[in-house]
């Protein structure tokens, strides 16, 4: 039996026009709608969030191409309506489900992307061209708004300012750290402070609850022996098999905007000899790859160290902690 192909040997390329066309929800959210979100009865904020997101989507849809100021003046009794909606909450409470549901409910033109995908788009097209291409949209949905890189935060803040001035409505999500959930709107306060003058244009909606990815589920399976991992990869059509170190080197040669193309068509990823990321640069690339695997619901199997040990204790104490914890949550779910 021939060995499975390696991700490390792929050289994906995505043209700038494809980056714009690809601004849609990940495949795993193709069928989500407000009606498919099942609120936790123990968390009343979830049902309230569904209601707020429905109302926001209706408001954006009814506004047509008039811009948000036109919508506000046209609809009496809606003086408190804002062009932005921010979903605040911890990992795995369904914020992305709600964000994708908003996107599905609003007629086009519209765009959906993660914070990182937007910064990649600006890097590929330039700021002015990005604004030009997105200014005709009714809605821009931004998943996983990140506050750990001041330069990128200000870049996307400026993008939001230009787009809302052009009449585009914005919906965004971010995450509260698990150990900050008891402190109220920690992430929301950070978000509103970081986007400064834009903060008055966002309505904050809280979504509380435990991480559904680990609700009542077992821990991640232990790593396989190398021989077992190879056998599993060989018996799984469409799978890949990589030495972890080789894949880390390959990711350094590929722009993160192409990681989605890298795993297109793959049914399962097998990583041999997993070890904690040696530095922040490698760790952040692994986060980006993990997000694309999660978007496509591609299972992951490993030998070596468990995926929960992918990031060192020092990394988890640093500025990218939120990003690393999200990646662990997603990768552990995929490893089941």
Structural domains in the chain?
A: 7-12+217-335 (no CATH), 31-210 (3.40.50.300)
pLDDT of residue 209: 82
| CA–CA gap between residue 232 and residue 223 (Å, rounded) | 13
pLDDT of residue 324: 87
Q: Give the number of other Cβ atoms within 10 Å of residue 321's Cβ.
A: 15
Helix/strand/coil percentages in the chain, nearest 5: 50, 15, 35
pLDDT of residue 59: 93
pLDDT of residue 71: 45
pLDDT of residue 184: 41
Q: In which residue are the tokens 């990681």 written?
A: 259
Dihedral over Cα of 309, 312, 317, 320: its sign: negative
pLDDT of residue 72: 43
| CA–CA gap between residue 127 and residue 124 (Å, rounded) | 9
Instruction: Tell me, rounded to whole angstroms, the distance of Cα 188 from its chain centroid.
Output: 17
pLDDT of residue 58: 95
Q: What contacts 163, CB < 8 A, 6 or more positions away?
A: 131, 134, 135, 137, 140, 170
Low-confidence ranges of the chain (pLDDT < 50): 65-79, 177-186, 216-217
Cα 291-195-94 angle, rounded to 5 deg: 40
Between the CA of residue 96 and those of 28, 207, 213, 307, 324, what are the distances in Å? 11, 11, 13, 23, 17
Cα 186-154-143 angle, rounded to 5 deg: 60
pLDDT of residue 177: 44
């Amino acid at each position: 039996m021939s060995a499975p192909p390696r991700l490390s040997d792929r050289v994906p390329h995505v043209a700038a026009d494809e980056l714009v066309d690809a601004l849609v929800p990940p495949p795993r959210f193709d069928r989500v709608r407000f009606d498919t979100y099942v609120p936790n009865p123990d968390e009343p904020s979830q049902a309230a969030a569904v209601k707020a997101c429905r109302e926001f989507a209706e408001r954006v849809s009814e506004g047509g191409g008039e811009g948000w100021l036109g919508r506000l003046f046209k609809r009496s009794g809606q003086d408190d309506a804002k062009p932005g909606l921010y979903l605040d909450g911890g990992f795995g409470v369904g914020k992305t489900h709600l964000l994708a549901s908003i996107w599905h409910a609003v007629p086009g033109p519209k765009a959906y992307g993660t914070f990182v995908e937007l910064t990649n788009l600006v890097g590929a097209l330039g700021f002015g061209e990005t604004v030009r291409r997105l200014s005709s949209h009714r809605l821009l949905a931004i998943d996983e708004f990140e506050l750990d890189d001041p330069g990128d935060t200000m870049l996307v803040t400026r993008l939001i300012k230009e787009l809302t001035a052009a009449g585009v409505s914005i919906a965004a999500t971010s995450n509260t750290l698990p150990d900050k959930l008891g402190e109220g709107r920690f992430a929301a306060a950070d978000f509103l402070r970081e986007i400064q003058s834009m903060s008055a244009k966002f309505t904050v909606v809280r979504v509380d609850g435990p991480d559904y990815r680990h609700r009542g589920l077992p821990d991640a399976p232990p790593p396989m022996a190398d021989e077992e991992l190879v056998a599993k990869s060989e018996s799984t059509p469409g799978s890949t098999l990589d030495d972890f170190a080789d894949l880390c080197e390959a990711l350094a040669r590929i722009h993160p905007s192409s990681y989605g193309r890298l795993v297109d068509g793959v049914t399962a990823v097998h990583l041999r000899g997993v070890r904690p990321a040696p530095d922040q640069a490698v760790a952040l690339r692994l986060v980006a790859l993990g997000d694309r695997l999660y978007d496509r619901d591609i299972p992951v199997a490993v030998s070596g160290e468990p995926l929960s040990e992918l990031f060192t204790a020092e990394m988890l104490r640093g500025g990218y902690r939120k990003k690393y914890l999200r990646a662990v949550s997603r990768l552990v779910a995929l490893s089941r």
